[in-house]
Chain A
Amino acid sequence: MGSLKRYILKRLLEGFVTLMGLTLITFFLARVAPSDPAALWVGLHARPEQVEQARKELGLDKPLYVQYLIYLRDLFRGNWGISYRTRRPVIEDVLTYLPATVELALAGLVIAIIIGVPLGVIAATKKDKMVDHACRLIGITTLSAPSFWLALLLQILFARMLGILPLQGRLSPDISEMYPIKHITGLYLIDSLLTGNFIAFQDALLHIILPAFALASYSLGFSIRMIRATMIEVLREKYIVAAEAFGIPKNKIRFKYALKNAIIPTLTILGIVFAWNLTGAYLVEMVFNWPGLGTYTWRAILAVDYPVIVATTTMAGIIMIITNLIIDLAQAYIDPRVRP
């Protein structure tokens, strides 16, 4: 078990180094933007001296590398700066908006798993038959729809025309007033369940359905395609031939022998899916007025809100690194050859 700890440590260290590189790039990228944050901070009608004053206050007059070091120091202290736009501590903003995006990304992931994985496996086991072609067609269809357009379409269809699902937001205003959800994780679905708040749970569920499907569409198609390919490759492996030669029943071969070997690449695929959902959510967030990190980041980019840009990018980077680590550990658990 000591080697496992060392492995985790080593990966965390690598992740840390990568993260440093990430913050560096973002930091300097943000400063290349053609805007003057000091001017933005004080507003449009400020006098030049006020802008200068703001620049000093924000520390923007110091040389770049000094700014970076100050930033790093603050980062480690938990001080992620104040948003130039909202004037609130970035950490507060991030922690407010992050759960919404995570919830959406997770919902999209769940859809991809529940629908995408079985379809991919079925397509592979019935390769070249009608079922296979049907699954692949479904996959390519969902893969080709632009998420923001699909979001609009779903809105028209289910919210306006059929009226069975809510138009936007995470909760209906009256529900959130009368049955407020206690904040534990920030994920409404989980928090409402944990506190037995079933009315709010139902409302939150209804609200998340449309955006989750709009977001999940691409991941669904991607998953079907990749998992089918993975399964086909595994089914061609020599140990499958050997299993057949030993007379092991076909179903057992597929669902025990082949599947376990296919899970490892599948996990990697799902990790990528989750990462895409997380970072690509803002298109869907915009359409559904979902109060998530995506919209927040986008507004920050337009406003050249340095602290926010760097902070959210760093946060996204951290999530990616942790996700990769979890996948690697799961891989080591399943595949004995990988274990350190």
Chain B
Amino acid sequence: MKEGVNAMERKRFREIRIILHVLRENRLTMISLIILISIILMGVFAPLIAPYPDAYKGIPNVEEKYKPPSFKHLFGTDYLGRDILSRIMYGARYSLLAAIVIVALSVAIGWPLGVIAGYRGGLIDDIIMRITDLFLVFPALVLALIIAFILGPNLVNSMIAISVTWWPWYTRLARAEATSLREREFVEAAKAAGLSDAQIVFRHVFPNTMVPIIIQATMDLGTAILVAAGLSFLGLGAQPPTPEWGLMINEGRSVIFSAWWCALFPGIFIFITAMAFNLLGDGLREALDPKLRRIRRLG
């Protein structure tokens, strides 16, 4: 019986080995990882590498207003004459941060709730699932708008608002996993060994629900960027002069036909970042998802 428990732990290390193996093999996944790291570095070192390090501020420079792309300003300038390339570099911080925080928060709320609901079952399960279902029926984006508006429009609040709409998906996922785990032998074995419920949940149930959660979280990072940018586009997220990519698109919207570069380039970066996250998530999923496993062990 103890063997069974140890075997589960050994299995986890094997999962990590598989991830590394697949990441090395799959070229697209590798490329997306490189792109992501580049964007992260770009955001982190923005003050050092941006051609116009003050561009993130709100200082107007009327003469340089709406200049098209040139050698001086590779991506042109915006309505305040600020260099768009530099702003995009700074903007990486906000978009990446938003994606990570949103997913992290949603997982932090949804995962434990789901595990508890799935493992305990009964009344607790019912209550949690009712609440979850309620949130799921609620049109997510409307809820996010409302909450963002209530809390006051800024980036942090929009992240919170979006997380509030997102956690139910993780609860459902975790619950499904936890429920199936509940029936498995190693749980019975652990109980027979005298472990308390809390110990079982922490040491055995939680870690074994981790894989699907991680897969979903990585895939959701790509979507999270889009949603966060969407809220900023509407004016309920980041506020000027923050160089957030979604907000920049909004700022460029009114001059879309004359100064198209203002809205185009930030969007391209959102697109690239989301795509990198999605490719990474997809690659991870191919590697880890037992249902999609390319190579399987036969009993």
Contact = CB atoms under 8 A, between A and B. Distances in A.
Is the A/B pair a real complex?
Answer: yes
Interface of A: 18-19, 21-22, 25-26, 29-30, 32-34, 128, 133, 136-137, 140-141, 143-150, 152-153, 155-156, 160, 218, 221, 225, 229, 232-233, 236, 275-276, 278-280, 282-283, 286-287, 297-298, 301-302, 309, 312-313, 316-317, 320-321
A144 B139 contact: no
A19 B190 CA distance: 42
A275 to B, nearest CB: 8
A229 B292 CA distance: 7
A150 B263 CA distance: 11
A279 B137 CA distance: 11
Contact of B263 (A22, A140, A149): A149
Nearest to B32: A140
Interface stretch (B43-51, B63-71, B114-122, B275-283): B275-283
B213 interface: no
B127 interface: no
A148 B139 CA distance: 18
A226 to B, nearest CB: 11
B156 interface: no
A140 B270 contact: no
Contact of B142 (A148, A236, A297, A302): A297
B115 to A, nearest CB: 23
Contact of A18 (B133, B147, B150): B133
Contacts of B28: 133, 137
Interface string B142-164: 10011101101000000000000
B138 interface: yes
B287 interface: no
A22 B230 contact: no
B264 interface: yes
Nearest to A229: B292
A156 B275 CA distance: 22
A313 B142 contact: yes
Given A149-B271, A152-B253, A232-B291, A278 B134 contact: no
A279 B253 contact: no
B184 interface: no
B275 to A, nearest CB: 4
Interface string B219-261: 0001100100110011000000000001001000100110010
B102 interface: no
B139 A313 contact: yes
Contact of B140 (A148, A232, A279): A279
A128 B294 contact: yes
Nearest to B276: A144
A29 B226 contact: no
A144 B273 CA distance: 8
Contact of A302 (B149, B233, B278): B149
Interface of B: 28, 130, 133-134, 137-142, 145-147, 149-150, 152, 222-223, 226, 229-230, 233-234, 246, 249, 253, 256-257, 260, 263-264, 267, 270-271, 274-275, 277-279, 282, 289, 291-292, 294
B141 A144 contact: no
B292 A146 contact: no
B267 A152 contact: yes
Given A146-B249, A150-B267, A152-B263, 14 more contacts: A18-B133, A18-B134, A19-B137, A21-B134, A144-B271, A146-B274, A148-B230, A149-B249, A149-B270, A152-B253, A232-B291, A236-B291, A279-B139, A301-B146
A301 to B, nearest CB: 5
A248 B28 CA distance: 37
B138 A22 contact: yes
From A287, A301, A312, name the one whose CB has the most chain B CB atoms within 10 angstroms: A301
B142 A156 contact: no
Nearest to A32: B150
Contacts of A276: 140
A5 B13 CA distance: 52
A301 B149 CA distance: 7
A136 B282 contact: yes
From B141, B222, B223, B257, name the one whose CB has the most chain A CB atoms within 10 angstroms: B141
A317 B279 contact: no
B42 to A, nearest CB: 18
A98 B53 CA distance: 47
Contacts of A221: 278
Given A232-B292, A279-B139, A33 B150 contact: yes
A298 B145 CA distance: 8
A317 B138 contact: yes
Contacts of B133: 18
A101 to B, nearest CB: 11
Going nearest first, the 8 A-B pairs with the smallest beta carbon separation are A149-B267, A279-B139, A144-B274, A144-B275, A316-B139, A140-B278, A21-B134, A146-B226
Nearest to B233: A148
B127 to A, nearest CB: 12
Given A146-B230, A146-B246, A312-B142, A156 B270 contact: no
